[in-house]
Structure 1
């Protein structure tokens, strides 16, 4: 049971670690990470400025400035100065690496001459660091190959032991300014989590959030996992809390791996909206999201065509690698007059306000943000019953679940709902109340409870 009222946040320094935060990339991950930072700002962290958002992608300083500007314009970032990047701060204004990076480097560490390096330069073209290139290796972040550090004369002054050494040097530089204060770290990336799992600073409490599915196809609780997940679970008990977005996923994890780690649930916050009921279009069914293989949009198309309800149409909003294949399918089904690939939208709320029904035929989910957003707009949802999160929402109301992968059942559910206006109206009416379980208030109450518990206990590392 989630708390309804938030306890007071502990007096501490707050850091949110994210591999990258780039507008338009990484979907729900970026949205959820920024929403969590806004939550903490609203709860009074840093007098309302929010936690420091520390990012680790090696883009240019100009790129990062543009990202901050865009997020601020979108209202996703409270204080742009709180979003910092390792590589922006690794540059000395007079050339070469910043002092903290030079101090952390080891002159005795030499690079392997057979390893390719990506040399990073400042705005004036002066080298300050070089990263080992590990092509085709998803575990590049674990390499022990040295990260080279340049001095103001453009010479290699030393090196750090892999990305772990580089990232930890920056974190120690950032936290050196905090004195003896408690430091609450919210790690949003599993790759970063692997690199900080042994950070034994007694001031630090690490809360590791999860955004994604942890198993492979067929996405059952006992299905195989990839190497990153397998390795990560061996470290899970080192974090002061592991935060899952849904109770179902948390429960599956505890049943499979046991309770050694501190597994807790904090739903990602989704802000309330002002629904435009006047925009609703009878018979409009939508699919909204990335056109990727795992989303199985072809199932939704086949199901809608099979439902064959007169006067209805399907709009598919989003872009991605499946676009050409889906258009071919629409043409093969001779459904171009009823089914359209509408492209990307920067106003998904308006699309949801227009729709009578949202259909999702995904193979898996990590967090049900799209489903909750649809219910907030009073748009009922028909979905495959797949892990994770969708059942957590729709079993409370606002939609219909059908067996995962069953296109015939999906089509029958679409036909049944579109031909029963009373049932459709009833689901629409109850949808916003169901979505309220994912309100910022309830999410913040759960998050602050977890933070308070972690702060009052000794660190696990």
Structure 2
């Protein structure tokens, strides 16, 4: 066994729960969720077919089929039949809701006349469920307004208690055939976690990965908690393990909330690459990601221009709501010959292979996937030192960190890396070794240890 090879996973049924998995949406969340499923497949789950990926978004069956095929073509999904959707399976072949859903419908449940309903129809325009619409409420998933169930004639035959009742009915249906086997549920979504935190089936162990930062500005350890997370921390001790992508975030949480919950660290796996050093372009600096306010790309632009390195140029790859504002800033600064909004790329690996340096000015992160990917390609990183994850990676080498929000310091770091003799080369040489800490092998070893410990203990619910 190699030093980082994982022991065997416990013999169990494995389910990965995700609110949605849609190509091109949710960035690192989608990438990390699918990567974890591939990890489990590679470790032999279901004979190599991998866990069942259960999704809960109310799209059409045709859209879900397209999503599966896209993931297969991208190499992100090995067996499309393992990716299932609640609403695909809530339809009876002859119309109306599936039998498993009709069986749990409370005939006394009625539509609230003050609530709007979204009627879902099958491919033949036959209604099967009606979902309550609760606009402007971030806690819509916890509402008790009934989800209405239709029969083959389209008539409402009853309902279940909110989305909690709907989701739990499907999970009970999915797991009904598992007998007395242990069921390992990897819940990738905070909203789903809140809905299954009272799932008291003695077969079930819930392992809950976290993908995002839990803090508000200024994103320090004692900063206000994002209100969407306040309630979640109150139920975190009901999960058999909570896994954080970085030790820094786990340690901040334990220091603030104590050890009542089972907090663990499992780095998200990032597949090794074959870097193309022959594509490297001297002086090319890149920023890669969504053009969103939290990425502070205006800081990156100003820092790059202030560095004033002869022959250097900045390419900003990605799309998003900040595009027009950034374009206006580039025009205002007269920097169109040195700074380019390059648009969305479906080949980020080539961008990183071409780059001499990656620049990030983000205000916060949840997981440092982009930084690790840059280092894998031998591309050093200059970044603000912000929570979470960037310090966990670049703090070990392969780049330079400066205080968050200090544009002058960011500019000085860019100038130093691009002009100090030998520094860029030393950072580039160290980068792949630093990124190896996030290898699939190390990630799987950590995940296996967490699952094995959770299965060995009684369930927490």
Whether these two folds match at TM > 0.5 is yes
- 1:222 shift after superposition: 1.1
**How many Å apart are 1:111 and its aligned residue?**
1.5
User: How does 1:425-440 map onto structure 2 within 5 Å?
Assistant: 425-440=425-440
Alignment partners' CA distance in 2, 1:221 and 1:177: 45
- 2:413 counterpart of 1:408: no
* 2:263 equivalent in structure 1: 263
Q: Which residue of 2 aligns with 1:14?
A: 14
Structure 1 counterpart of 2:101 = 101
Structure 2 CA distance for aligned equivalents of residues 13 and 416 of structure 1: 52
The residue aligned with 1:299 is 299
Aligned positions of 1:257-406 closer than 5 A: 257-406=257-406
Please state how far the C-alpha of 1:421 moved relative to its aligned partner.
4.0
CA displacement at 1:69 relative to structure 2:
0.4
Alpha-carbon distance in 2 for matches of 1:426, 1:287: 21
Partners of 2:95 and 2:394 in 1: how far apart?
56
Tell me what 1:55 maps to: 55
Matched residue SS, 1:234: helix
1:4 CA drift (Å) = 3.0
1:210 aligns with 2:210: yes
State the partner residue of 1:125.
125
> Mean Cα displacement is larger for which, 105-114 or 43-52?
105-114
Tell me by how many angstroms 1:255 deviates: 0.1
Aligned length: 459
Could you tell me how far apart the structure 2 residues matched to 1:405 and 1:134 are? 38
Secondary structure of 1:229's aligned partner: helix
Cα distance per residue 1:152-190 (max 9 Å; x no partner): 111001100000000000000000010110000000000
**Shift >3 Å, 4+ stretches:** none
For residues 421 and 377 of structure 1, the distance between their equivalents in structure 2, rounded to whole angstroms, comes to 21
| Structure 1 unaligned spans of 5+ | none
Match of 1:452 in 2: 452
TM-score normalised over the length of structure 1? 0.99
Q: CA deviation at 1:207?
A: 0.2
Take 1:226 and 1:130, find their aligned partners in 2: how far apart are those partners? Answer: 31
The C-alpha deviation readout for 1:123-152, integer Å capped at 9, x for no partner, is: 000000000000011100000000000001
For residues 221 and 165 of structure 2, what CA distance do their matches in structure 1 show?
A: 35
Supply the distance in 2 between the matched residues of 1:213 and 1:62 (Cα, whole angstroms): 34
* Aligned residue runs from structure 1 range 168-187, under 5 A: 168-187=168-187
1:157 corresponds to? 157
Superposition deviation, residue 5 in structure 1: 3.3
User: For residues 217 and 228 of structure 1, what CA distance do their matches in structure 2 show?
Assistant: 14
- Aligned-partner Cα distance in 2 for 1:36–1:156: 39
Partners of 1:191 and 1:201 lie apart in 2 by: 19
Task: Quote the RMSD (CA, aligned, Å).
Answer: 0.7
Match of 1:83 in 2: 83
**Could you list the runs of 5+ residues in structure 2 that have no partner in the other structure?**
none
Q: Deviations over 1:1-58 (max 9, x none)?
A: xx83312101000000000000000000000000000000000000000000000000
Instruction: Quote the offset at 1:114 in angstroms.
Output: 1.4
Q: CA deviation at 1:227?
A: 2.4
Shift of 1:402: 0.2
SS state of the match for residue 117, structure 1?
A: strand
**Cα distance between partner residues in 1 of 2:104 and 2:226:** 33
Cα distance in 1 for residues equivalent to 2:421 and 2:189: 44
C-alpha offsets along residues 90-149 of structure 1, whole Å, 9 cap, x if unaligned? 000000000000001100111111110000000000000000000011100000000000
Other structure's SS at 1:87 match: helix
Q: Tell me the CA shift for residue 78 of structure 1.
A: 1.1
